[in-house]
Amino acid sequence: MFGSFNPVQELPLTLVTDRLVIQGSMLTRVRRLTDLVNEPDTPHLVLQNATFMEVGSRRVVAQGVAAQVQLSDVLFAHTNGQMESGSTMRMPKQPVRATLLLPPFTVEGTIYLPYESELRIALDAYGDRFVAVTGAKYWAYAVAESPNFVDLLVVNHARAHISIAAGVQWRADSGPAHSESEGRQNPW
């Protein structure tokens, strides 16, 4: 697992399903939320001091000192505090404004796609289990969920319909490191 040499930190989280908003905290050595949810051998998260609320009304339906939440049911998640950020990406990616539809929720923000010859190929090539969305806004007016703004939201890729508006400027490479005149590629 990433971050195995890091000290344990308490990470306050909000996890949202189509019917529940779950708040609690998790003890982890991982420093990036995207690494935590994209770990291939992690089917669920175990939270401490968890509160389960109905979407819309926010009526508390359950509380527990420990709770297991299945990642397959999570539409999206975000931290409730500061998490040490990994400002560098493991491979170069291009930022693109997108709308992600996760009924009953809508998410708007910036996603990061790999450099490919065409936007549609880059979107098809994205393979992580959760999609990072920065500068995110999410809401669900049909169930009385007002807009919320978060710096980083991770969206369940298997549950999301991703729409990128017409007119997006797409670049096929990440810049000078990929230019044919230099004859070499960026190792990242």
Residues 150-171 have pLDDT tens digits of 999 999 999 999 999 888 888 8
pTM for this predicted structure:
0.85
Cα angle 5, 8, 9 (rounded to 5 degrees) comes to 130
Beta strand segments in 56-188, E: 60-70, 76-79, 93-102, 105-114, 130-140, 145-156, 161-163
Mean pLDDT value across residues 67-84: 87
Rounded Cα–Cα distance for residues 172 and 34 (Å): 25
Rounded Cα–Cα distance for residues 117 and 131 (Å): 21
Q: Which CATH entry fits the domain spanning 9-79: 2.130.10.30, 2.30.30.100, 3.30.750.24, 3.40.50.300?
A: 2.30.30.100
Confidence bin at 90 (pLDDT 50/70/90): low
- Residue 29 pLDDT > 50: yes
For the chain, what are the domain ranges?
A: 9-79, 93-163
Strands 145-156 and 76-79: antiparallel
